[in-house]
Every structure is written in C-alpha cells, then in structure tokens.
Amino acid sequence: MKDSNYYKQLSYAETMEFCPRCNALMFPNPKNPKVLACNCGYKSRKTSVLKIKEKSENLINIELINKKIETMPKTEKECPQCGHEKAFYYLAQTRGADEAETQFFECVKCSYKWRESR
C-alpha cells in the first residue's frame, strides 16, 4: 500500500499516462515525483510533469444551516424540561415480548429526550 505522501503528489502533478506494459494508469514515483511509475515496475523515461491548475471566477458562498430534518411523528406531550407541548416520538420493544413497548420522546423546542414505559 502506498503512503499518504504518494497520493498528495497527485493533486499537483498529474499527466494521465498509461503503462505500455500493463495499460494501467501511471503515477508519480514516491522517490522522484518527476518520473512516472506503475505497479508492474515499469518507469517512464520522461521527466517532465504537467501541473494542472484551475481558476474559478464565480465563487459562491454556501451557507450552512443547522436544521434538523423532522421525519419522526409528533404528538402532544409536555416536555419535562421546558414545558413545551409538542414532542417527536417512537416506540421500541426494550423488555420481554410479553411486556408493553417503551415510548421515547424528544421535545420539538429544546431537543430534550426522555422515555416512558407503559
């Protein structure tokens, strides 16, 4: 397996050449990044390296929003922490099959989580 420095070189020095022996993609040699090498052992005789750069004139600022996706059902249940009247809920069988399931709640307002056994 190649070390992490080997792959860091790829970001600034790529030529997209293929090995004439096995037709695999050739990468910069870890010891000499100007020489391309292949896993089969072949090394190219070329010593020039093509540097790829890209400039973008239309930069876009992306605003990250910390919004929770509301996929669970809601019910009217008072939060013991903040007193809000709505909570998400789900049911889970936490004990034996002959006993009732446990109800889990999460407050819509403050995200406090609690559970109730039936």
Q: Which domains does the chain have, with CATH numbers?
A: 1-54 (no CATH), 74-117 (2.20.25.10)
Token pair 């030529």 in the structure block, residue: 15
pLDDT tens, residue by residue, 7-63: 444 444 444 788 889 988 888 877 877 788 888 988 887 765 556 677 777 777 877
Residue pair 75/89 in contact (Cβ under 8 Å)? The answer is yes
pTM of the model: 0.42
Burial class of residue 45 (count of CB atoms within 10 Å of its CB; 0-12, 13-18, 19+): exposed
CA distance linking residue 14 with residue 84, whole number of Å: 58
Residue-level pLDDT at 52: 60
The span from the CA of 100 to the CA of 91, in Å, is 10
- Do 30 and 43 contact (CB within 8 A), yes or no? no
pLDDT in tens, 51-105: 667 777 777 787 777 666 678 899 999 999 999 999 999 998 888 888 888 999 9
